[in-house]
Amino acid sequence: MFEVKEVLRLWLLGYALRAIARMVRCDRKTVTRVVDIAKGLGLSAGDDIARLSDEFVGSVMSVLAPVRPDRHGDSWELLHEHRGKVADMVEVGDVPAVKMVELLARQGVFVPERTLNRFIAAEFGSPTPSTVPLADGEPGVELQVDFGELGRMFDEETGKRRRVWALVFTPVFSRYSFVWLSFNQTMATVIDGFEAAWEFYGGVFGVVIPDNMATVVTKADALDPVLNQGFVEYAQARGFVVDPARVRSPQDKARVERAVQFVQTSFWAGEDFGCMAEAQTAAVVWCQGRAGLRTHRRLQAQPAVVFAEHEAGVLLAAPVEPYDLPIYRSAKVHRDHHIEVAKALYSVPGDLIGTQVDVTATRVLVKIFSGGRLVKVHPRQKPGARSTDPADLPSETTDYAMRDIASQRRKAFRLGDNIGAFVDAVLEGPLPWTRMRHVYKLFRTADRYGNHVVDQACGRAVDAQCANVTVVVGMVERALEAAAIDAEPVPDNVITGRFARNPEHFAAGKQVTP
């Protein structure tokens, strides 16, 4: 879902379809199809990026419907079938890809040149070419990022000496580096480093070129890297594009590679910092002074001065609020219609029981997705709490599960005025939800014997100031039994017992015959 959103975001920013395909690492036809689907759903090139809501992107995905989980199409399978022919041309060594496409077409194998290039790189590898200096590009556009190990330092939280990492940021144009120190390389640490970098630079660079760190790149690949969803959403929030370097290709981020060595030798070597806070303060001072005001050998100018003159004014706007790092989870919908996220419970529609859903939880909201579509949004709850939407529960159990006393009273008055008055008496007092089962017992009695009979019994109970459901049920049953006896006809064929006595025999006094 976030890949589709990234394609549409870049399209709204004005990037061409070929450029989007190159940055997102997908086929241009796929990019074209995603854009066409979005246009069909009402998206225009001049629209605001806010149009890319979760609901809209989910609608695009429902139409897109990926067919191949391996991300390859029919042309790739066709090349696999004729792999021997491709191998023979690769071994020759001087046949360019465009000529290979022509030779294969003569044999009835029609494949795009781009697919052939990707197939050759994946199946046979690419020879290591000689490197050439890359142009610096436009000011304020590219920022290279890499981790470097510095040494060990005492950690006050754990009471142990731990390995210290430096997340180094180096603009391609000015070489004005920034250093963020940490004891780990988690997503939270990386995003904290980026947030500190935007504050240091006073703005956001348009393109970030990171190393293949796990927090940014989930699956490293020269042609089709898979980016971490959390970091892509952070890039979307801050407005920059992620263009990771190739695996084992330091020339793709040569500026920051050299800066990491400079940090290790000039900043860290020989120092003895007492804590991480002291070290980070010293790192900022070093970046602004020693590293920023030195005469750079390649630029023959001071990086801080070059940055201030050419890049500071063209950066994207700096963030004004801290980034809310989401929690990403895959949760199972249990039989109680809830999922558990960060030790809190959230309800899900009943038709998803037993399925796996994807969850994105921020400090404010919890969004639940099924198959790429947004199915539920809840306010974030603290551990141990829960958020339940009554509409997600079966109608016959909603009132009891939600302890909806008002609903029980409304239902009682619909059955009869006396029933409603009696239920009010039952539920009167503290903790009324503890007596809801008594009300359910009364409702079941009304379903069994009829509302009119129960309403009469409740009326007598209210007059007698009785609020016991068991008494009312007994009154209804005894009344019905008495009515049944009165209605039963006396048989006319009763046979007198053989030794039965005359009733006069049992008279109390002596009978005097006049």
pLDDT in tens, the chain (514 residues): 778 888 888 888 888 888 888 888 888 888 898 888 888 888 888 888 888 888 888 888 877 765 555 567 778 888 888 888 888 888 877 778 888 888 898 888 888 888 888 888 888 876 545 556 677 788 999 999 999 999 999 998 888 999 999 999 999 999 999 999 999 999 989 999 999 999 999 999 999 999 888 888 888 777 778 888 888 989 999 999 998 888 877 777 888 988 999 999 899 988 889 899 999 999 999 999 999 999 988 889 999 999 999 999 999 999 998 898 888 888 988 877 889 988 899 988 877 888 899 998 888 889 999 888 888 999 999 888 888 887 777 654 444 445 566 777 787 788 888 888 888 787 776 767 566 777 778 888 888 878 877 888 888 788 777 878 887 888 877 776 666 555 555 555 555 555 666 666 666 665 555 5
Q: Are 98 and 141 in contact (CB under 8 A)?
A: no
Burial of 425 (0-12, 13-18, 19+ CB in 10 A): middle
Distances from the Cα of 475 to the Cαs of 433, 441, 460, 466, 472, in angstroms?
25, 14, 9, 12, 5
Report yes or no: 476 and 445 within 8 Å, Cβ to Cβ.
Answer: yes
Axis crossing angle, helix 436-449 with helix 469-487, rounded to the nearest 10: 10
Give residue 214's identity as a one-letter amino acid code.
Answer: A
Q: Which pairs count as long-range contacts for 246-255, CB under 8 Å and 24+ apart, including other chains?
A: 246/222, 247/212, 247/220, 247/221, 247/222, 249/222, 251/131, 251/134, 252/209, 253/144, 253/145, 253/146, 253/209, 253/210, 253/211, 254/134, 255/144, 255/170, 255/171, 255/172, 255/175
Q: Return the residue matching tokens 């120092």.
A: 271
Contact indicator for 352, 361 with CB cutoff of 8 Å: no
b or e along 83-93 (b: 16 or more beta carbons within 10 Å of the residue's beta carbon)? eeebeebeeee
Q: Which of 241, 243, 296 lies closest to 266, judged by CA? A: 296
In the sheet with 338-341, reading across from the earlier edge strand, the strands are 338-341, 344-347, 386-387
Instruction: Return the sign of the alpha-carbon dihedral for residues 3, 8, 14, 18.
Output: positive
Q: What is the pLDDT of residue 153?
A: 92
What is the enclosing helix (H) or strand (E) of 167? strand 160-171
How far is the CA of 409 from the CAs of 171, 328, 399, 422, 473, in angstroms? 68, 42, 11, 10, 19
User: Alpha helices, DSSP H only, in 368-468?
Assistant: 395-402, 405-415, 417-427, 436-449, 451-463
Helix (H) or strand (E) holding 56: helix 54-64
Dist. CA 204–CA 238, nearest whole Å: 7
Give the whole-angstrom CA distance, residue 358 versus residue 345.
14
**Are 178 and 156 within 8 A, CB to CB?**
no
Residue 264: C-alpha distances to residues 148, 163, 211, 271, 350 (Å): 8, 13, 18, 11, 56
From residue 388, give the alpha-carbon distance in Å to each of 150, 162, 361.
49, 43, 16
| Residue 204 DSSP symbol | B
Contact 245, 253 (CB under 8 A): yes
Torsion of CA 413, 418, 422, 428, to 10 degrees: 60
Where residue 16 falls (left for φ over 0; alpha for ψ -120 to 50; beta otherwise) is: beta
| pTM for the whole structure | 0.52
The backbone torsions φ and ψ at residue 477, rounded to the nearest 5 degrees and listed phi first, read -65, -40
Q: Which of 74, 149, 153, 143 is nearest to 115 (CA)?
A: 74
Instruction: Please name the residue that has the structure tokens 């780990």.
Output: 184
Query: Sheet of 365-370: strands edge to edge?
Result: 327-332, 356-361, 365-370, 373-379
> Looking at residue 263, what DSSP letter applies?
I
